[in-house]
Each structure stands twice: as structure tokens, then as C-alpha cells.
């Protein structure tokens, strides 16, 4: 999996809604050319980093969904990523539950078909993420917002003149938000938005996303100048028949980043079962 553009399923759902929405709610149909140029620079920087950044990491991941608060120890390798459940709903895994998790990891390491499936899913998500990034400058109307010595905030809203490229992107709705970009390196730091109206998929036949839904993706430098997604917060109500990841509630926070020393899945499994990095 490529970490620079690594987009969790919920993040993909969120940017699917944002990037591929259309709306006539806004009177103005003009972007600030300077803001658009900054977006183009940010997109180019992310695509280039995705192509060249081969770093691998370990981190602690706290993933909260309705009824489940799970903490994982995750190790990336050049062959893929492994993670071990270490806490569930505030309690460390012990006894049979811990043994089951160890067996699950060992089975995966020796299951080539499961690994191939994961690699295909990762490649698919990465390709979609790249295409969505490329659409950013044209999918929205952009204006400049707040500015600091380190960051530039760019505000976005749907572009009524944007033509979604396929049936899946014909979403009727609206989302507005902000993109925060670092001045040094043009890297994306924050992407957040909120649905300003209900979103109908296939005129409501295939699904509906509720007004007020929000998402917030935070990225930070975790070491050696490398940017990673450190927080993902998605709260979008509704349902969608064709898109399993749309209409979910999730808060995912990654901490304790460190370079990974595991080059293979077997090495990662050994470190996870030993409790080390």
C-alpha cells in the first residue's frame, strides 16, 4: 500500500461525495485563479510523493465505530501491512481472544490468496485516490481563506459546471469545506467538509446521504519529512446500496509512529506476536 495517498475506505467514501458532487446552490461560478494554482501544486506534490515515497512504518491505531472501540498495533512491510488487535472496548486482549488473534495473523501470512486480494484492493483504492486528486481543481470552486506563516487555507464548494465522468459520480447534493496546504512542499495537511443538503444517489433509489454529514482528514509529518494520514473522522448518515463504505461513522487516530524494520510479512508477524516493533 502506498502511504502518501493511502485513503481508508471511509475517507474514499467522503471524497467520493465531495469530489463528485454537483449543485446549483451557489450563485458564483468563478474560482480564484491563485487558489486553483495552489490546489494544482498540492495535487502534483501528493502524486509525486506517492510515486517516490517507499517508507514503511509502525504505529498504534485507535479505530472507533458504533459499538466497537479497537486498538491495533500495525506494522507495514514491503510486502504489505499487518496489524494485531491489542485492546477492545478499553480492555487488553488476553486468553483465548489473544490466541485467536495470533492464529489469524499466522494464517494470513501463509495465505497467498488472501494477500493477493488485499494487494488488489490496495492498488484499486490507490488508483481511485489518484484520479480523485486529479479532479480537485475542476470539481470545485476555490477561494483563498486564512493564512499563516506555514499554511494556506483554501475554501471549496461544488462547481456547477463540473461534469462527473461516470454514472457512479452523478451525485445530487452539495458539500463545502476547506483544504489546508503547507507552504513548504505544497503538501495537504487537512481536508474537511460538511454536506449542506441531502445527497441523493440515483435520485434516491440507490441511496441517500443525510444533510449535515461531515468528514475531517488530518495529515502530519511523522518523521524524516514524511507525511501520513494521522486522523480520519467521518460521520455521514444515510445508506447506499452500491457503496458499502458510504454512510458510516468512524474515528480513526494513528499515533506512536516509528520506521518499520520488518521487510517481510513473516518478520512483521514475529514482531507483532512478540509485542515489539
How many Cβ atoms from other residues are within 10 Å of residue 56's Cβ?
19
How many Cβ atoms from other residues are within 10 Å of residue 20's Cβ?
20
The pLDDT tens digits for 114-167 are: 999 999 988 888 887 888 888 889 888 999 999 999 999 999 988 888 776 644
How many domains in the chain? 1
Is position 178 within any domain? yes
DSSP string spanning the chain?
--STT---HHHHHHHHHHHTEE----S-----HHHHHHHHHHHHHHHHHHHH----EEEEEEEEETTEEEEEEEEEETTEEEEEEEEETTEE--HHHHHHHHHHHHHHHT-HHHHHHHHHHHHHHHHHHHHHHHHHHHHEEEEEEEE-SSEEEEEEEE-TT---SSGGG-EE--EEEEEEEETTTT-EEEEEEEESS-EEETTTTSEEE-TT-EEEEEEEEEETTEEEEEEEEEE--EEESS-TTSS-EEEEEEEEEEE----SHHHHHHHHHHT--
With contact defined as beta carbons under 8 Å apart, do 77 and 55 qualify?
Answer: no
Is position 257 within any domain? yes
SS (H, E, C) 212-248: CCEEEEEEEEEECCEEEEEEEEEECCEEECCCCCCCC
The closest alpha carbon to 214, from 230, 241, 190, belongs to: 190
- Structure-block grid coordinates of residue 154: 483554501
With contact defined as beta carbons under 8 Å apart, do 158 and 175 qualify?
Answer: yes
Region class of 257: left (phi > 0), else alpha (psi between -120 and 50), else beta: beta
Is position 87 within any domain? yes
pLDDT of residue 133: 85
Residue written as grid cell 489469524: 104
The pLDDT tens digits for 12-35 are: 444 444 444 434 444 457 899 999
Please provide the size of the chain in residues. 277
User: Which residue range is the domain that position 107 belongs to?
Assistant: 9-274
Can you tell me the distance from the alpha carbon of 57 to that of 55, in angstroms, rounded to the nearest whole number?
A: 7
Is position 4 within any domain? no
What is the average pLDDT across 102-107? 96
Is position 2 within any domain? no
Is position 3 within any domain? no
Percent of the chain with pLDDT over 70: 80
The pLDDT tens digits for 66-102 are: 999 999 999 999 999 999 999 999 999 999 999 999 9
Mean pLDDT of all residues belonging to the chain: 83
pTM attached to this predicted model: 0.83
Is position 78 within any domain? yes
Is position 146 within any domain? yes
Amino acid at each position: 500500500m502506498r502511504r502518501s495517498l493511502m485513503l481508508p475506505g471511509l475517507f474514499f467514501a467522503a471524497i467520493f461525495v465531495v469530489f463528485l458532487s454537483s449543485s446549483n446552490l451557489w450563485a458564483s461560478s468563478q474560482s480564484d485563479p491563485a487558489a486553483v494554482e495552489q490546489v494544482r501544486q498540492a495535487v502534483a506534490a501528493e502524486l509525486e510523493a506517492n510515486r517516490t515515497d517507499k517508507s514503511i512504518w509502525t504505529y498504534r491505531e485507535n479505530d472507533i465505530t458504533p459499538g466497537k472501540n479497537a486498538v491495533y498495533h500495525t506494522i507495514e512491510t514491503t510486502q504489505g501491512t499487518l496489524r494485531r488487535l491489542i485492546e477492545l472496548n478499553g480492555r487488553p486482549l488476553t486468553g483465548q481472544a489473544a490466541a485467536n488473534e495470533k492464529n489469524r495473523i499466522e494464517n494470513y501470512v501463509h495465505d497467498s490468496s488472501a494477500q493477493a486480494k488485499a494487494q488488489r484492493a490496495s492498488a484499486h483504492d490507490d488508483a481511485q485516490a489518484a484520479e480523485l486528486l486529479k479532479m480537485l481543481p475542476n470539481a470545485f470552486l476555490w477561494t483563498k481563506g486564512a493564512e499563516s506563516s506555514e499554511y494556506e487555507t483554501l475554501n471549496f464548494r461544488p462547481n456547477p459546471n463540473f461534469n462527473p465522468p461516470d454514472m457512479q459520480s452523478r451525485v445530487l447534493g452539495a458539500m463545502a469545506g476547506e483544504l489546508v496546504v503547507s507552504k513548504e512542499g505544497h503538501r495537504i495537511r487537512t481536508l474537511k467538509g460538511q454536506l449542506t443538503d441531502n445527497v441523493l444517489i440515483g435520485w434516491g433509489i440507490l441511496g441517500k446521504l443525510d444533510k449535515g454529514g461531515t468528514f475531517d482528514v488530518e495529515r502530519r509529518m511523522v518523521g524524516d519529512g514524511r507525511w501520513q494520514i494521522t486522523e480520519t473522522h467521518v460521520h455521514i448518515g444515510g445508506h447506499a446500496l452500491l457503496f458499502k463504505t458510504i454512510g458510516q461513522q468512524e474515528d480513526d487516530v494513528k499515533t506512536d509512529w516509528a520506521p518499520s524494520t520488518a521487510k517481510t510479512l513473516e518478520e512483521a508477524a514475529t514482531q507483532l506476536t512478540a509485542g515489539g516493533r
